[in-house]
Amino acid sequence: MVAGERAGAVGGEPGIGATGEPQLGATGEPRLGATGEPQLGANGEPRLDASQRRVLELGLRDSAIVIGAPGSGKTTTLVQFAVDRVHRLGLDPSALLVLAPSRVAANRLRDRLALRVDRPTNGPLARTVTSVAFSIVQAQATLRDEPAPRLLTGAEQDSIISELLAGAAGIEGGPLWPDQIDAEVRALAGFRTELRELMMRVTEAGLRPGDLRTAGERYDRAEWVATADFMVDYETVIDRFPSPYLDSAELISEATRSIADGAPLGALELLLVDDVQEHGAATLEFLRALAGRGVTVVGFGDPDVAAATFRGSDPLALAEFGRRLGVEAQTITLDTVHRHGDEVRGLVTEISQRIGASGVVEHRKAAAVAETVDPAGRGDGSADADADADAGEGSSIRFVCENTPARLHRRIGRVLREQHLLYGVPWSKMAVVVRSGSLLAPIERSLALSDVPTRGSVGSRTVQDHHAAGHLLTAAAVAVGAEPLTEASAVDLLTGPLSGLDRMALRRLRLALRHEELAGGGAKQGTQLLYEALLTGVGFASVDSTPARRAHRFATTLAEATRLAIDGGSIEEVLWHLWDRSGLAGPWASAALGHGLAADEANRQLDGVMALFTAAKRFVERAPGAPASNFIVEARSATIREDSLTPTSAGEAVWLGTPNTVVGAEVDVVVVAGMQDGVWPNPRVRGTLLYPQEFTQRVAGLPVEELDARASVLSDELRLFELAVSRARSLVVLAAVDSEDEHPSPFLRFPSVPPVETGAAEHPLTLRGMVGHLRREVVAPAADAPADAAAALARLAAAGVPGASPDEWYGLGEPTTTEPLIDLSDAEARVRVSPSQMETFEKTPLAWFIDKMAAMPSGIAANVGTIVHGALENTADAREPSDVTPEKLWEHVDDRWSELTFEAPWIAERQRRAVDTLVNGLSEYLTDFLRSGATLVNAEGAFEVTIDQVTLSGKIDRVERTAEGEIVIVDLKTGRNAPSQPSVDQNAQLGGYQLAGRRGAIPGVEGTEVSAGGALLYVSKGVRGKSYRLLTQKPLTDEELAGFETRVLGAGHGMAAAVFPGVSDLDERDPKAGFVYRIHLVGAVSA
C-alpha cells in the first residue's frame, strides 16, 4: 500500500466510514472488466444462479465465506450482496465497507459499487486494509492529541535497511550475521527483500524481536537471532524520526490493537472482503478484531488463485475462516462458472487439480455455463482463411512458439492486432501476463513496434527506470550537489530530453568546440570541452549553431537550478524549474492526445515524470527540512518498485503486467507470455537466506520437518498460472520460445493445451508491415505472389500511408547531382591524392568516398597510434640510445594520454599495456638505428608531386640515410596485422614516397641520391629476437616508377569522378567490409 490512503471521520466522530482518499476511478489504473459479469435480467438486475442467490439469503448478522472457482461470479455476488443489503434490507451505506487486497483492485470496485448502490456515501465503499487501518490509527492519534503517524513505504523502508546494513545509519556495533551472510550477500537487493519479509512476518504475528531471538535459539537459526538484533537497531532509527512512522504490517497491527481496545468504529456493521486468499495473517487478525466488536464479516475468495503466498497470504484462511475470526461462519460454494466456456474451464480445472489442497476442493467441480464464445469473435466459429494457425483454429486456447524472444513478441503483437482489427476486441479488453516484472520492458518495446498500445501500473518500475524521469533526476542530482557532473553525465544530459540534442548534433557541437580549442592552441578533447562548457554554463555561447544554442539554454537552466538549490529551494522546486524550462510539457501533452507509437511513448514519459514529482512531493511532506540531496540518494538507491497514486493516461491500451496485477480482473483475451522452463514455473525455493516462510510455519505450529518446500513452490506457481489463464472470457494464448537454449514450460503439457501452431504470419497486421510486405512483392515477387500488390500499394499511397508511394522509397529518387567531384575539363583544376588513401580507393572507391565525405569518428586504436607517432616525431633530435629509452618515449606519450577518453578504467589499463608493447618496439628500433651510424634526414616531412592534373601529397614519418649514404623511407605502423611481402612490394604509400624522393620533392633529399627503398616499421610484434619488424620495399626502377605514376593518375581521375562503385566480396575481416560500407551495397528497396 502507499502513503495517501487515509481516512477521516463519519458524522464528526472519528471512525472508518469516511475517507480522505482521492477518487481514483479515473487515475488511469487498468479498467479490466469486472469479474464474473452475468447477464442482466428483465429488471436490469444481474441474473444470479442458485448458488449466488444463497449468499443473498444470509441474515443481517450472518458471517460467511463464499468460495468459488475463477469466473463463478464472486465479485458480482459481493456487489449484489451490498446492493441487496442497502436497497432491500435498508442498511445505511455508511454501515457498509468492502475490503480489496490492493489499491488497483479497490479502484475497480469503487465506481462499480457507487453506481450500483446509488446512494450518497461519506467516501468510497471499497478500500484497502491499509487505508482503513491508517484511518483508525490516525483517528486515535487525534483523540490523544498526538501527531498522526505516517506510512513508511516499501521503497523508504528498503532505503533505511540498506543504510543500516552498510553501517551508515549511525548505529554502533550491529548484528552478528552467520558466516554465509557476509557483506557481499547483505549488499544484495534480494537479501534486503527477505529481511523485510521476515520482519513483516514477526510483526504480523504480533511478536517482538525478543520472540524472534528465542525462536532462533530454539530452532538453531542464527539468521533469526541476527535479524532480531537488526530489528532493534531498525526500531532505534525509526524512533529518531521527527514524526512517527509505521510500515504497512505495523500499521495494521496497531489498528488491530486499537479496535480490540475499543476504538470507535463509527456506523460500521457489515464488512465484505474480496479475494480473501490474498490477505495475510495481519489482515485476518484485523478482521478477527472487527468481528469481535460485532461487525458481520462476509468473505469471498478462491484458494487456487492466491498470488501473494510468497508475501504471507494464506490460502488456508478460506477453509478456516470462521475459526480464524472467532465466529460462526457459513461456507457457501458457487457451483457455476459464467466467465468462459468449456475449453478454458477445462484447462483451469486441470491446473487446479495439480495444486495442493487448501482445505476446500468442492469449488473445483464448478461447471461452465457461459455460451461458447468464438475467440475470434465469429458467431459460427467458422474457419478464417487468413488465420495463421493450423492447430487450435476456432479454439479458445492457442499455443504459439517461436525460436527467439523477438520473434515471439512480434507474433504476440500480431495476435493482439488480429483480435483488435479483424474481430473488434477493444485494446482494453486484452491483457499480456508474464511471470516476472523483469520480462515486461522487452515485451513493451516489441509491442510498441507492432503498433500495440500497452499500459501498466506506474509502480511497475522505479522512477529512474523511466527515460525522461531518469534524466530529470540526473539533472536535479547535479543541481543540488548530490552527484558531481562528469564527462559521461554531461553527454547523457545533453543527449537527453531536457536538452534535446541527438547524437549527430552532439558530434557537430563537439567538433565545433574542438575546432575553437585547436585554433586557440589548446589540446583538449571534444568530450572534455562539452563537460567544461556545461559545468561553467557559458562555454557554448561562442558557437553559432542550433545545437550550441540548445546546449547553452540547458546549461543556463542547470546553472539556475543550482543557484535555486543553494538558496534553499526544495527538491520539488528544483525539479519544477528544470521541467518548466525544458518546454516539454506542451509538445508531449499534445503528442499524448494523438495515436500511434509517438502518443504511447509520450504517455509513458509523462507518467514517469508525474511519478517523480509525486515522489518528490511525498519526500518534502515527510521531511520538510531535509536537504534535497537526500531525495536523490533515496531515489537512486530504490530497488523496490513503489506503488503510486499518480494519475496516468487513460487511453485504450492492452494491460501488461504480472499475475498479481490482474487479481480481480476480467478481459476477453489473455496472452500468457514467457512460458519457459525454469521461468514459469520457477522451481527455486524462496526464503533460503533467512527462512521467513519457516518462521511463519513454526509460529503456526505446523510440522515443518514433514513439509515439502518444493511441492509448496510448485503449488504457488500453478496458482499464478491459473490466475493468469482464468482472466480470459474468450481466448487464452500461451506463448513460449523453443530453441536450443530455451524450452517451453512443462505447464504447456496439460491435456487441454492444443498442439503448437505452425505456419508464419504473412505480415504483422500493421500499415507499416503491410507496406513492407507489398513492397517486397512488387520489387522481388515470389512465385505465388499476388498480382495486385502494386495496386494495393497505390491505394495505400493514395490514402497517405507513409512509405507506400515509390516517391518515398530509398534509392529510387534521382541523385541530387550527377556532376563529378572535380571537373577535370577545367585545365586549372587539380585533384589531391594522398598515398595513404590510394590503396583504399583502389580496393573499393565507395569506401574511400564515404571516408572522405562522412568519416566516422576515429576510435581508440587510431588515437593511440597518433600519440605514438607523436612520440616518434619528438625523437628527431636524439643522438644517443639513452635519448630513446622506453622511459623517455613514455614521457612523450604521457604528455598526451589525457587526450584519450576511455569508457572504463580497465579499458584504459588494457590500452596502456598495449602501448607499452609499441613503445618498447619503437625504442629498440631507434636504438638500433642510432648504433648503426645512420642519420635522420627529416621527420614528418611534407612533399608534393604533380602529375598532369593530379597532385600527390602527404607527410613521411621518417627519411633516413644509412651509414653507406643510401636513402631509406620509413613509415611507422602501430597495427597488428602485417601485410604479405607481395603486398608490400605494391604498397602505394611506400611507392608514393619513393616517387617523391626520385622527383626531389622530399626536403633534404636530392633526386639523384641512391635509394635503398622504403620500409614499413611494425612495432606491435617483432621477429628474429627483435621487438619490431621491418617490411621492405625494394628501390623502384624507372619503369616501375612510370607505372606508379600511371596508378596515381588513375586514382586521381577516379577520385574526381561522379560515381564510386563498391566491392561486395571483400574479406569479412577487412575494415572496409564493415556495416557502414556494406549498407550502401544493399538493394535500394527492401522490406
Query: Which of the two residues, 1076 and 786, has the higher pLDDT score?
Result: 1076
pLDDT in tens, 1019-1078: 988 888 899 999 999 999 989 999 999 999 999 999 999 899 988 777 777 778 777 788
Residue closest to 735 by CA, chosen among 726, 747, 727: 747
Q: How far is it, in rounded angstroms, from Cα 736 to Cα 743?
A: 8
The neighbouring-strand residues paired with 656 are: 432
843 is in an annotated binding site: no
**C-alpha cell of residue 695:** 518462521
Which pLDDT does position 645 carry in this prediction? Answer: 47
Mean pLDDT of 713-724: 90
CATH superfamily of 397-456+651-749: P-loop containing nucleotide triphosphate hydrolases (3.40.50.300)
Please check if 90 is assigned to a binding site: no
C-alpha distances (whole Å) from 593 to each of 599, 606, 675 are: 7, 12, 35
608 or 36, higher pLDDT: 608
Q: Are the beta carbons of 890 and 848 closer than 8 angstroms?
A: no
Model confidence over 994-1013: pLDDT tens digits? 998 888 888 888 877 778 88
E strand or H helix at 773: helix 767-779
Query: What average pLDDT does this structure show over 639-650?
Result: 49
The mean pLDDT of 846-858, rounded to a whole number, is 81
Q: What is the mean pLDDT of residues 727-748?
A: 91
Q: Is 113 helix (H, G, I), strand (E, B) or coil?
A: helix
Higher per-residue confidence, 310 vs 360? 360
pLDDT of the residue at 299: 93
Enumerate residues 6+ apart whose C-beta is below 8 A from 361: none
| C-beta separation of 192 from 155 below 8 A | no
Max mean pLDDT among 723-727, 778-782, 813-817 falls in: 723-727
13-19 vs 7-10, strand pairing mode: antiparallel
Over 916-983, what HEC string results? HHHHHHHHHHHHHHHHCCCEEEEEEEEEEEEECCEEEEEEEEEEEECCCCCEEEEEEECCCCCCCHHH
Give the whole-number percent of the chain exceeding pLDDT 70: 87
Is 73 labeled as ligand-binding?
yes
CATH code, 831-1055: 3.90.320
Contact status, residue 71 vs residue 35, Cβ threshold 8 Å = yes
Residue (of 67, 100, 3) closest to 308 by Cα position: 100
CB-based contact 304:353 (threshold 8 Å): no
pLDDT tens digits, 527-548: 888 888 888 877 788 888 888 8
The mean pLDDT value for 127-150 works out to 87
Q: In the predicted model, is pLDDT for residue 858 greater than 70?
A: no
Res 705 pLDDT > 50: yes
- pLDDT computed for residue 595 by the predictor: 65
Instruction: Assess whether pLDDT exceeds 60 at residue 132.
Output: yes
Question: Is 69 annotated to bind ligand?
Answer: yes
pLDDT at 419 over 60: yes
Least confident residue range of 86-100, 381-395, 1063-1077: 381-395
Q: Rounded to an integer, what distance in angstroms lies between the CA atom of residue 22 and that of residue 19?
A: 8
Question: How many residues appear in the chain?
Answer: 1087
Query: Regarding the domain delimited by 463-637, which CATH topology (the fold level of the hierarchy) does it fall under?
Result: PCRA; domain 4 (1.10.486)
* Residue 202: strand, helix, or coil: helix
Is 72 annotated as contributing to ligand binding? yes
The predicted model gives 606-628 an average pLDDT of 77
What DSSP designation does 88 have? T
637 is in an annotated binding site: no
Domain 7-149+248-339: give its CATH superfamily: P-loop containing nucleotide triphosphate hydrolases (3.40.50.300)
Tell me, yes or no, if the two domains 7-149+248-339 and 397-456+651-749 fold the same way: yes
673, pLDDT greater than 90 = yes
- Selection from 737, 748, 800 nearest residue 771 by Cα: 800
Question: Which letter does DSSP use for residue 676 in this model?
Answer: B
Nearest to 665 by CA among 186, 224, 64, 100: 100
Please state which of the ranges 27-41, 111-125, 218-232, 1017-1031 shows the lowest mean pLDDT. Answer: 27-41
* 3 state SS of 799: coil
**16: pLDDT strictly greater than 50:** no
Task: Retrieve residue 1005's grid coordinates.
Answer: 633529399
- Asked which of 13-17, 322-326, 458-462, 1077-1081 is least confident by mean pLDDT, the reply is 13-17
Q: Show the CA angle centred on residue 188, arms to residues 183 and 193, nearest 5°.
A: 120
Contact residues for 727 (Cβ-Cβ < 8 A; gap 6+): 32, 70, 431, 433, 662, 665, 666, 667, 670
Low-confidence winner among 183-197, 428-442, 591-605 (lowest mean pLDDT): 591-605
- Region 486-512: what's the mean pLDDT? 85
- Grid cell of 83 as nine digits: 446492493
Averaged pLDDT for residues 723-739 = 93
Is residue 4 annotated as involved in ligand binding? no
Residue-level pLDDT at 383: 33
Q: Where are the domains of the chain?
A: 7-149+248-339, 153-244, 397-456+651-749, 463-637, 767-807, 831-1055
